[in-house]
Chain A
Amino acid sequence: MRTRFTGALLALMVFSSVSAAQVAVKAGKIHTVSGEVIRDGVIIVLEGKIAAVGPAVDFRIPTGFEVLEAAVVTPGLVDVRSTAGLTGIYNGDNQTHDQDMLETSKPVQPGLRAIDAYNPREELIDYVRSYGVTTIHTGHAPGPLISGQTMLAKTRTTTVADAVFNPFFGVAANLTPGAQNGAGAPGTRGKIVAVLRETLIGAQEYKATLAKYDGEGPPPARDLSKEALLEVLAGKAPLIVTANQAQDIASALRLKAEFDLNLWLDMAAEAYTLIDEIKAANVPVLLHPTMYRAAGDAKNLSFTTAQKLAEAGIPFAIQTGYEGYVPKVRVLLFEAALAAAHGLGPARALEAITLSPARLLKIDDRVGSIEVGKDGDLALFDGDPFEYTTHCIGVVIEGEVVSRVVR
């Protein structure tokens, strides 16, 4: 018999077993993402890694395993761009309590590290995890011209050191009119790009100064901002550039050419107007949440952009991003669902929140698909994960059941 039950019944059946060191998941459908869908399958997670996956008839689950059951299992979801953990659930006049995603004291601050602001116990982390997200690329928000660094973490409730698995992934820059806010900010589009070019040239000069130092006399003074930009110039850290309108996307592509940047386009509401240019530049797109508000410089966004990027063969993933008001954080699953229903289709939509972001983030050796040897990160559902009336009924990170909420 297929394991298709109502949410409540399933939740009871799934979670009444004793906690065990090892986890096995039985599912009506396993979306491996990297390969075919497995019907009536089993996944066995041993010591945090996927040890086996295949049709249930091929396996006998050893004793001592906690056995979870679900109608559908997917890889743990990967959010390619979030600010959760730096952004907290509150808001208000006084942002000092939990709003650490925007530092507006200066327009260019690449030295700000995400790990110094990330709160793994933040309620928003708990919330997004309950909807299946197990890995996030999070950090300083789009805002000032260069707002700071980003990092990679599992959504576990633990210490920063334990949650984070890449403390410095990229540097966040912003070419939208939003970069005109804050102390000392440039006041026009032209000035935004001019200041960014000066900043990158300054980093090139810093690199030359460091290279010239021969060990004689005092070493050049350290500059934390420029040190971060050296990683960008070397291509080790992508420059994640937020741009929505076509002219801003074009500016980003010009900067990539001038500085040979490892450029990532963030949001990209009007990407559909520059498909050929983006493809030619071989730039990935961290696409705006499908339901992002069609307002301001994102007013021309379309529900069908994901489909257009997919058809053009442009590497992309769907993000939850950042907004200042409600909803305080977006649900990755819901954003992909709407893209699925607008031409992308369920299979590609699932890939856009699992394997595609894992590849972009260069962590596909660990996450993004259900394959032997990868981390035991799984999301369990009582039906089609994208249907509004389906529930996420459990989440596993590295073999540990981290959410048992029916949501």
Chain B
Amino acid sequence: MDTPPNCLHRTFLTLAAGLLSAAALPAQTTALKGATLLPIDGPPIENGVMLYEKGKITAIGKAEDVAIPDGATVVDVSGKIVMPGLVDTHSHIGGVGAADRSGPIQPGVRVYDSINVRGSSFKRALTGGVTTANLMPGSGHLSSGQTVYVKLRMGEKTPRTIDSISYRFPDGSPMGGLKMANGTNSIRNSGEGGFPGTRGKSAFLVRSFFIKAQEYRAKIAAAVDEDGNPDATKLPPRDLHLETLLEVMDGKRIVHHHTHRQDDILTVLRLSKEFGFRVVLHHVSEGWMVADQIAAAGVPCSAILVDSPGGKLEALNHVIESGAILERAGVRVAFHTDDWITDSRLFLRIAALAVRGGMSRQAALESLTLAGAEMLDLSDRVGSLTPGKDADFIVLSGDPLSVYTRVEQTWVEGEKVFDLSNPDHQIFAEGGYGATDDITPYYCCYDHLINSENN
């Protein structure tokens, strides 16, 4: 059991909760001791000590090598396993919704403007150890809009708005990527709303849009006076969609691209090369068939792992060995929940099944942490227990890859945000009356692919 925070500490936490900045967290050092630490960027540390202050890790090592400062708050987690908070590179928690049915490419629409931070889906995700998530709009469009990277700062006070949980770009704007998709989800044979009816048309529409953005950039560059100084009066009218594509082509915003079939994956790699955008390939059901090409392109994969193949044609060749094959080819692999496709509460299970499929234990653990952090440009903040990074960690009852292991605690920036021994929290971990609120996932535009169920 951990030592309860002292009264002073508690007061500080209460005051600090809900504030944005880690700098507002208590200045006092906290020492986590007694556990086997899995730093991820280094070998396991038995009987380790981790120090953190103001929500940031300051030291980590063996008990004999890391002195606990006088006056430090000590959290004793003897006998437990501690690893970094999990990074979910693709999740639909929070009631996400971005682009509507009016058109197939809507990069200016932000999922940021749709999130219900009080939704129980966040609380459930915390019970699974998720501390950072990429909230994605759906795959029913070629581009359904901007994603947002969030930190699950769900402490004593629930955050009041999305503003208090989103990561920020250096310029202060909400940090996220751009969701794109190809294959069948974004194809609509009706032709309604300008949606493509074939794969060839899908790529044509995407290429046309990127070229339009290139031309938009040229117009901006040409908005100068006779001396070559910027002249705002000559700027083209603002276009939120094209502005977003410029961020993508500038490398600021990563494309998170839904893609299953091997030829669709190669189409994404072609487009990425043609327009120079950074991309993470998501789902990649048939990625194992083109693992060498993905590796050669140096493009990382955020893969899905579900309990059986099928459900749609593109996913027929989904195999549990995907992670292992991609790893062997030299591809950086993360896994994601795609919640609600799989359950955030069981995110650790995905890595375990990947090991069942032949992936190395190390790569599997990285796939839930450091690899995902890299794919969100957040590896300087999260993904490993490293001095300087955020004190986001989870306390496990046993081996992270065992079915019998439970996530007992989740900590974000040094604050405990989930405790299995608290009945108010336990219900979100195990389910029960009131554990789930009604948020219907917003599929826009591929509902026709999903059979009606008994609910």
Residue A390 at the B interface, CB < 8 A? yes
CA A296 – CA B455 in complex, angstroms? Answer: 5
Instruction: Verify A326–B313 contact, CB threshold 8 A.
Output: no
Residue A337 at the B interface, CB < 8 A? yes
Residue A1 at the B interface, CB < 8 A? no
Most B C-beta atoms less than 10 A away, residue of A99, A270, A326, A338:
A326
**Total A-B residue contacts, Cβ distance less than 8 Å:** 155
Instruction: Verify B451–A324 contact, CB threshold 8 A.
Output: yes
Smallest Cβ distance from A99 to chain B, in angstroms? 7
Instruction: Verify A178–B452 contact, CB threshold 8 A.
Output: yes
Chain B residues within an 8 Å CB radius of A124: 308, 310
Restricting to B294-335, which residues have a CB under 8 Å from any CB of A? 306-313, 315-316, 320
Smallest Cβ distance from B94 to chain A, in angstroms? 15
Instruction: Verify A325–B311 contact, CB threshold 8 A.
Output: yes
Task: Select the stretch in A73-81, A197-205, A278-286, A287-295 that faces chain B.
Answer: A287-295
Chain B residues within an 8 Å CB radius of A329: 307-308, 310
Assuming the A-B contacts A291-B343, A324-B453, A388-B403, are A342 and B307 also in contact, with contact meaning beta carbons closer than 8 angstroms in the complex?
no
Chain A residues within an 8 Å CB radius of B78: none
Task: Give the residue of A99, A127, A270 whose beta carbon is less than 8 angstroms from that of B308.
Answer: A127
Most A C-beta atoms less than 10 A away, residue of B316, B356, B440, B451:
B451
The residue on B at minimum CB distance from A324 is B451
Restricting to A300-343, which residues have a CB under 8 Å from any CB of B? 300-304, 322-331, 334, 337-338, 340-342
CA A174 – CA B453 in complex, angstroms? Answer: 12
Assuming the A-B contacts A178-B455, A294-B435, A325-B450, are A389 and B352 also in contact, with contact meaning beta carbons closer than 8 angstroms in the complex?
yes
Instruction: Verify A327–B311 contact, CB threshold 8 A.
Output: yes
The residue on B at minimum CB distance from A299 is B436
Residue B402 at the A interface, CB < 8 A? yes
Residues 411-455 of chain B: 1 if any A CB is under 8 Å from the residue's CB, otherwise 0?
Answer: 000000000000000000011111111101000000011111111
Task: Give the residue of B401, B435, B452 whose beta carbon is less than 8 angstroms from that of A181.
Answer: B452
Task: Give the residue of A127, A303, A341, A342 whose beta carbon is less than 8 angstroms from that of B309.
Answer: A127
Chain B residues within an 8 Å CB radius of A226: none
Residue A139 at the B interface, CB < 8 A? no
Residue A34 at the B interface, CB < 8 A? no
Residues 344-364 of chain B: 1 if any A CB is under 8 Å from the residue's CB, otherwise 0?
Answer: 001001001101100000000
Instruction: Verify A388–B311 contact, CB threshold 8 A.
Output: no
Query: Which of the four size classes fits the interface of chain B?
Result: 35 or more
Chain A residues within an 8 Å CB radius of B402: 387-389
Secondary structure of the A contact surface, majority rule: loop
Assuming the A-B contacts A304-B430, A331-B308, A388-B355, are A141 and B449 also in contact, with contact meaning beta carbons closer than 8 angstroms in the complex?
no
Residue A168 at the B interface, CB < 8 A? no
The residue on B at minimum CB distance from A391 is B356
Restricting to B195-233, which residues have a CB under 8 Å from any CB of A? none
Most A C-beta atoms less than 10 A away, residue of B310, B430, B452:
B310
Chain A residues within an 8 Å CB radius of B455: 176-178, 244, 295-298
Residue B341 at the A interface, CB < 8 A? yes
The residue on A at minimum CB distance from B440 is A295
Chain B residues within an 8 Å CB radius of A179: 454
CA A304 – CA B406 in complex, angstroms? Answer: 14
Known contacts A326-B308, A331-B308, A388-B401; 5 further A-B pairs (Cβ under 8 A): A91-B450, A92-B313, A93-B449, A267-B454, A303-B430
Chain B interfacial positions (CB closer than 8 Å to A) = 306-313, 315-316, 320, 340-341, 343, 346, 349, 352-353, 355-356, 401-406, 430-438, 440, 448-455
